[in-house]
Each structure stands twice: as C-alpha cells, then as structure tokens.
C-alpha cells in the first residue's frame, strides 16, 4: 500500500467514525463499507469475514481488531452438522479455496469435493478441525468394486478422512444383494484401516421403499458409518420421508446424511427432525447465517 493510499484509507475511516457518532447504532453491523474495498458478494460484516479489510485496518495503525457478538452469532451446532459441498465438474481452484475459507470460518463438519481436489482441501484446512471429504464411484455407482477401492485408497493417501461412496444401484435393483454388500465392504475396510469413515449414497430417488430398506441393511451389515440419501445429480434429492425410513432401518447407532436440495435453515430442521445427523449442502453459508437472524 502506498502512502497516498494509506492516507486515503485513514481519512475514510475517520469520516466513517465521525458519521457514526452522529447517527444511531444500526441493528446489524455494516462494516466499514469503503466503496473501493467492498468485495463481490460482501455481507457487510467486516472485519470478521474479510481478511483483506482486517489487514488494511491494521496497516492504518490499529494493533487489535474487535467485533460485536451481534455479527458472529452463528449457531455452531448447526454448522457442525453440515458437509460444505461443491461437486460441480466446472468448479475451479479459486472456488475450492473459497469453500475451504468458508468452512474454516463457520466450523462446518467437512468440505466435500471431487477426488482431484483432495490435496488442495487438505492443505487449506490444515489445523482447522474441519475434515476433508470426497466421493467415490460418483455419481453413478456403476464402476467395479476394484475401481472404487483403488479410488478410495488414492483419496486416503491424499488425506481424505471421510468417503462418500455411491453403492451399485443397478446391482441393488437386480437383487444382487451380496454384490452390493461386498462393494460397500471393500471401501469400508480400507477406509477404516486408515481411520476414515464411510457414508453410503443410496440415490433414493431411483429406489422404492423396499429397496431403500434393503440398501440401508446392506450398508449396516458392511459396517458403514452412514447412509446418505442422494448424490445431488440424480432425479431427486432428500425427502423427510426417506430420511425417516433410513433412520428406522439403521437404528440409532449409524449416521444418516440428508443431501440433495437442502437450501434453507428450515430444510435442515425438517431433515434433522426426521432423523438426519449430517447434512450435505452447497448453500451452507446461507443456512448458518439464517441461524443468526
């Protein structure tokens, strides 16, 4: 920052402070709202969500930055339910890095990405407590068990600690139950050896209720940790009815993840009331910020 830019910033900060002294304190924080510093998609909650503005405030002479609790009253219990997810094939490096920054800031359970991005995510989340999650056999579930195991092994070597695998939907619908169980078991065994957990994606929109129940039972017999509703790429997403059915089948000892079409805090509450213990969402920030309203 040049001296002229610094002088301009200091002047703007001074004007903002003086103007605030002569008007009521707003119900929600407005941040500094410097016209030439507002980021795209700014939520006007600086400096908590904007490291750039924090650095510039410090450069202007501050040696400590504080913030009102009114700006950060996010429910951590809600954030801890969410796998912050971006599985679109067009997602670029900057998109994944943004996803990780948001996950660190809000304290999401994990960041769930396609396997290629696992090394980047592991590095970005280092020291945060947010887990790295990836998908296997995604989104169709129709690859061989050997391919799924190899994909899982590579993800684990890269640092993934949660594996969301798609079961063999066609084999399930064909009644090849032992094939489905062994498919899941192959991924579970190698994951558990590495200390990682496995969530089995059923793609519930392609199954009838009996097939959903069978899939949950097979996942349980294969020692999976979670059953999960959907990939988000199928013909439908999570429903409360499916979540409730899955919970009844697996009982209290397994996790149930609702994923696909969960975009609001109300959606999340409906799914958790039905029995979900983890939520997969790309609208995670919108959901947790709604919990602060």
The DSSP symbol for 116 reads G
| Statement to judge: residues 199 and 89 lie in one domain | yes
Separation of alpha carbons 165 and 187, rounded Å: 8
Residue 35 has pLDDT above 50, yes or no: no
On whether the CB atoms of residues 263 and 289 are closer than 8 A, the answer is no
| Statement to judge: residues 59 and 84 lie in one domain | no
| Statement to judge: residues 46 and 100 lie in one domain | no
| Statement to judge: residues 67 and 97 lie in one domain | no
Q: What is the mean pLDDT of residues 285-293?
A: 90
**Closest among 106, 136, 103, 107 to 121, alpha carbons compared:** 103
3-state secondary structure of 244: helix
Question: For residue 291, what pLDDT band results from cuts at 50, 70 and 90?
Answer: confident
| Statement to judge: residues 238 and 281 lie in one domain | yes
- How many domains is the chain partitioned into structurally? 2
Percent of the chain topping pLDDT 70: 75
The secondary element (H helix, E strand) that includes residue 96 is helix 93-106
Residue whose pair of structure tokens reads 């790295």 in the numeric block: 132
| Statement to judge: residues 66 and 172 lie in one domain | no
pLDDT in tens, 1-14: 555 665 565 556 55
| Statement to judge: residues 145 and 50 lie in one domain | no
Residue 65 has pLDDT above 90, yes or no: no
From 71, 99, 116, give the residue that closes a domain. Answer: 71
- What is residue 19's predicted lDDT score, i.e. its pLDDT? 53
- Residue 136 belongs to a domain with what CATH number? 3.20.20.70
Residue 189 to residues 63, 225, 277, Cα–Cα distance (Å): 51, 11, 23
User: Mean pLDDT over all residues of the chain?
Assistant: 85
From 71, 98, 126, give the residue that closes a domain. Answer: 71
From 71, 87, 120, give the residue that closes a domain. Answer: 71
| Statement to judge: residues 108 and 127 lie in one domain | yes
| Statement to judge: residues 139 and 8 lie in one domain | no
Per the structure, the complete domain to which residue 20 belongs is given by 3-71
| Statement to judge: residues 52 and 185 lie in one domain | no
Residue 41 has pLDDT above 80, yes or no: no
On whether the CB atoms of residues 288 and 92 are closer than 8 A, the answer is no
| Statement to judge: residues 108 and 154 lie in one domain | yes
Q: 63 or 128: whose pLDDT is higher?
A: 128
- The pTM score is 0.76
pLDDT in tens, 109-118: 999 999 999 9
- How far is C-alpha 184 from the chain's CA centre? 23
pLDDT in tens, 129-183: 999 999 999 999 999 999 999 999 999 999 999 999 999 999 999 999 999 999 9
Separation of alpha carbons 216 and 220, rounded Å: 6
Enzyme catalytic residues: 164, 228, 257
pLDDT in tens, 68-103: 333 446 889 999 999 999 999 999 999 999 999 999
pLDDT in tens, 242-268: 999 999 999 999 999 999 999 999 999
| Statement to judge: residues 32 and 163 lie in one domain | no
């Amino acid at each position: 920052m040049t001296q002229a830019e610094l002088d301009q910033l200091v002047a703007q900060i001074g004007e903002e402070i003086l103007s605030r002294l002569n008007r009521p304190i707003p119900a929600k924080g407005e941040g500094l709202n410097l016209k030439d510093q507002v980021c795209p998609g700014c939520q006007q909650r600086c400096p908590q969500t904007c490291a750039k503005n924090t650095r510039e405030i410090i450069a202007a002479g501050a040696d400590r930055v504080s913030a009102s609790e009114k700006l950060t009253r996010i429910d951590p219990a809600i954030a801890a339910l969410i796998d912050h997810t971006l599985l679109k094939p067009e997602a670029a490096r900057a998109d994944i890095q943004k996803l990780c920054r948001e996950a660190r800031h809000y304290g999401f359970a994990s960041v769930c990405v396609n396997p290629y991005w696992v090394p980047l995510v592991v590095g970005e989340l280092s020291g945060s407590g947010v887990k790295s999650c990836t998908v296997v056999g995604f989104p169709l579930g129709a690859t061989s068990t050997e391919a799924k195991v190899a994909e899982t092994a590579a993800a684990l070597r890269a640092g993934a600690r949660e594996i969301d695998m798609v079961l063999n939907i066609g084999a399930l619908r064909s009644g090849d139950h032992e094939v489905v169980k062994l498919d899941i078991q192959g991924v579970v065994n190698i994951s558990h050896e590495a200390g990682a957990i496995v969530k089995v994606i059923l793609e519930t929109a392609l199954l009838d209720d009996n097939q959903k129940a069978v899939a949950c039972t097979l996942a349980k017999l294969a020692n999976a940790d979670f059953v999960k509703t959907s990939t988000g790429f199928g013909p439908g997403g999570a429903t409360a009815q499916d979540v409730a059915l899955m919970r009844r089948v697996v009982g209290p000892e397994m996790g149930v993840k609702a994923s696909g079409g969960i975009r609001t805090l109300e959606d999340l509450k409906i799914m958790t009331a039905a029995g979900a213990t983890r939520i997969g969402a790309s609208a995670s920030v919108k959901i947790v910020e709604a919990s602060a309203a």
